[in-house]
Amino acid sequence: MKRAQKRLWACIFFTALCFAVGGLSGWLQTSSLREWYPLLEKSALTPPGVVFPIVWSLLYLCIGIAGGLTATSESSLRRPMLRLWMAQLAFNFAWSLLFFTFRNPFLGLLDLLTLDALVARYLYRTFRHERPAGWLFVPYLLWLLFATYLNGYVLVANGTGF
């Protein structure tokens, strides 16, 4: 198979993986979004609920394509970059569980801070070795930093969740 075809199929696979993870996390947080989250005091900067699925769909598309580019990179650092990619996806999923399913803003914030660091590290690595994958993560990092602020606000305004 030609390299371009491999890259295309890898991008499709990793994008599907992102949407599957996002769909599962969305399903697991359904009751909290209905019963718990509306009762929290939130920042005035919190977007309306309709914004989140739109933003996350675009982000998962970018994250998935970046994963496919990383998986098919010819860089000697392909494996470490891919491990960072997988780790960020795991922490991305864990945040939904910690914040929404377990209703714990404190653990959610700890997860987000780790996720911020993983994504920043991935960006650093990919900008040096697989630049297009790095650019695809820039909107993701910006959104995560905003999400970290929103999570922190909820924590301060509502308590730890313990």
Per-residue model confidence as pLDDT tens digits over 35-78:
999 999 999 999 999 999 999 999 999 999 999 999 999 999 99
Residue 50 is given by DSSP the state T
Q: Are 153 and 106 in contact (CB under 8 A)?
A: no
Q: Indicate whether 1 pLDDT > 90.
A: no
Buried b or exposed e, range 33-67, using 16+ CB within 10 angstroms: eeeebeeeeeeeebeeeeeeeebbeebbebbbbbb
Per DSSP, the three-state class of 162 is: coil
Buried b or exposed e, range 127-137, using 16+ CB within 10 angstroms: eebbeebbebb
> What region, left, alpha or beta, does residue 65 occupy, with left being phi > 0 and alpha being psi -120 to 50 degrees?
alpha
pLDDT given at position 161: 62
* pLDDT band for position 160 (cuts 50, 70, 90): confident
Dihedrals phi, psi of 43, to nearest 5 degrees:
-60, 150
The domains found in the chain, sorted by start residue, are 3-158 (1.20.1260.100)
What pTM value is reported for the model? 0.94
What gap in Å lies between CA 45 and CA 34, rounded to an integer? 20
